[in-house]
Structure 1
Amino acid sequence: MTDTPARLLNLLSLLQTPREWPGSELADRLRVSPRTIRRDIGRLRDLGYPVEATKGAEGGYRLVAGAAMPPLLLDDEEAVAIAVGLRAGAGHAIEGVDEASVRALAKLEQVLPARLRRRVSSLQNATIPLTRGDGATVDPHTLTALAGSVTGRERLRFGYRSGEGAESKRLVEPHRLVSTGRRWYLVAYDLGREDWRTFRVDRVRDPFATGARFTPRGLPAGGDAAGFVSASMARNQPELALDITFAAPADRVTARLPGYLGRPEPTGPDSCRLRGNSQDSLEWIALRLALVDCEFTVHGPPALREHLKRLGTRLTRASG
Structure 2
Amino acid sequence: MKAVINSPNNRIQLNRKNNFMYYLKKDFLLYLLLLLPLAYLAIFRYAPIYGVLMAFQDYNLFQGIGGSEWVGLDVFKFIFEQNSFYRALKNTLVLNLLDLAIGFPAPIILAILLNEIWHARFKKVAQSILYLPHFLSWVIIGGMVYLLFSTGGLANSLLAGLGLSKIEFLSRKENWIVMYVLVGVWQSVGWGTIIYLAALVGINKELYEAADIDGASRLRKIWHITLPGIRPTIMILLILQIGRMVSIGFDRPYVLGNSLVSEYSDVISTYVYRIGIGAGDFSQATAVGLFQSVVGLVFLVAANYISKKIVGQGIW
TM-score, normalised to structure 1, is 0.23
Would you tell me which structure has more strand in proportion to its own residues?
A: 1
